[in-house]
Amino acid sequence: MGCAAEAVGTGGAGGRASVTTTATRPNAAIAGVTGAAGGFLSGILGGGGGAIMVPLMSGPMKLQQHIAHGTSLVVIIVTAAVAAGAYAIEEPISGRLVAALLAGAIIGAALGARGAMRVPAMRLRQLFGVFLVTVSLRLLLVRTVDPLLDIHGGAELAAAAAIGLVGGLASGALGVGGGAIFVPALVLVLGVGQHEAQGISLWVIVGASLMGALAHYRQGTVDTAVAKWVAPFALPGAVAGAYAAGALSGRSLQVVFAVVLSAIGVQMLVTARQRLRAEQATRAGSPVGEAA
């Protein structure tokens, strides 16, 4: 059985958010699949793995949508850090680009996490689905690695910071690490090689996810019990994914990235549509004079 999330405690006089935990122990098998799959996706695609962990947490694990996003970010901190270490052994990366992206991503992650609470859960799920499908189509349709911008020095760092800001907003609001934005933007906009872009992305995701997870925790949208069960399974998955990425060409990684994101995005759009229809049907069947 899955686990339903519940809030424990209430906000105090100072406005501090409640702590969220599960009512029952998470199903070990589901937690294992969620962590291993998210970790592997993080390693092979240079993302955080939230693209697969969020649907599994909000589906089989039965977490509320916002809590699934916040909990995913906590696990992503672990998966991204492990995968980044594995990439560092195989691929040298630009520390300057990491710092520039991280500066923008930290700001974006905090803003995105706060903004997520203003969006209804199913609308947030739809936004997530559209985001994934859009990115996947971009990767499939654009084969060239010629950069859109031919810039260097300060201008390149400014562009990297802007990419970080956008990716950070996605990280905080959608419960993803931001790699779905960082990686293609580094490749297509700045002309960074696919493998190096994924390594850079992972280092940035560690910092962005940390800030996003902290904001979610403070507002009570992190399930600590689920995070503790999922994270250990994500560690070997992240290492395996990172080494698998090293065996693939840059274009092969782009195609894998696009196919996985497209499939998950479509699935999330379909399920969100079904739930919204069910909610509308329920409201339509309510007594006419019922209070809102």
* Cα–Cα dist 47/37, whole Å: 12
Return phi, psi of residue 9, to 5°. 90, 175
Q: pTM value?
A: 0.73
Query: Tell me, what's the pLDDT at 174?
Result: 66
- Structure confidence at residue 287 as a pLDDT band (50, 70, 90): low
pLDDT exceeds cutoff 50 at 178: yes
Percent of the chain with pLDDT over 90: 23
Are the CB atoms for 138 and 77 separated by under 8 Å?
no
3-state helix, strand, coil in the chain (%, to 5): 70, 5, 25
Task: Count how many domains the chain has.
Answer: 1
Asked if residue 211 is part of any domain, the answer here is yes
Asked if residue 103 is part of any domain, the answer here is yes
Are the CB atoms for 81 and 234 separated by under 8 Å?
no
Q: Comparing C-alpha atoms, which of 47, 121, 114 is closest to residue 80?
A: 47
Indicate the residue type of 48.
G
Asked if residue 237 is part of any domain, the answer here is yes
Query: Tell me, what's the pLDDT at 142?
Result: 67
Helix (H, G, I), strand (E, B) or coil at 46: coil
Asked if residue 9 is part of any domain, the answer here is no
Asked if residue 8 is part of any domain, the answer here is no
Indicate the residue type of 112.
G
Q: Comparing C-alpha atoms, which of 176, 146, 182 is closest to residue 163?
A: 182
Indicate the residue type of 61.
M
Asked if residue 69 is part of any domain, the answer here is yes
Based on DSSP, count helices (H) and strands (E) in the chain, helices before strands: 10, 2
Are the CB atoms for 165 and 209 separated by under 8 Å?
no
Query: Tell me, what's the pLDDT at 231?
Result: 93
* Cα–Cα dist 289/235, whole Å: 53
- Structure confidence at residue 159 as a pLDDT band (50, 70, 90): very high
Interval 68-88: pLDDT, tens: 988 998 999 989 999 998 888
Range of the domain at 181: 26-274
Asked if residue 248 is part of any domain, the answer here is yes
Asked if residue 13 is part of any domain, the answer here is no
Query: Tell me, what's the pLDDT at 31?
Result: 92
Interval 238-286: pLDDT, tens: 999 998 988 888 778 778 878 877 887 898 788 888 888 888 888 877 5
Q: Comparing C-alpha atoms, which of 210, 186, 193, 191 is closest to residue 90?
A: 193
Contacts of 177 (CB under 8 A, 6+ apart): 42, 47, 48, 49, 50, 73, 76, 80, 171, 201, 205, 208, 209
- Structure confidence at residue 105 as a pLDDT band (50, 70, 90): confident
Tokens of 291: 């209070």
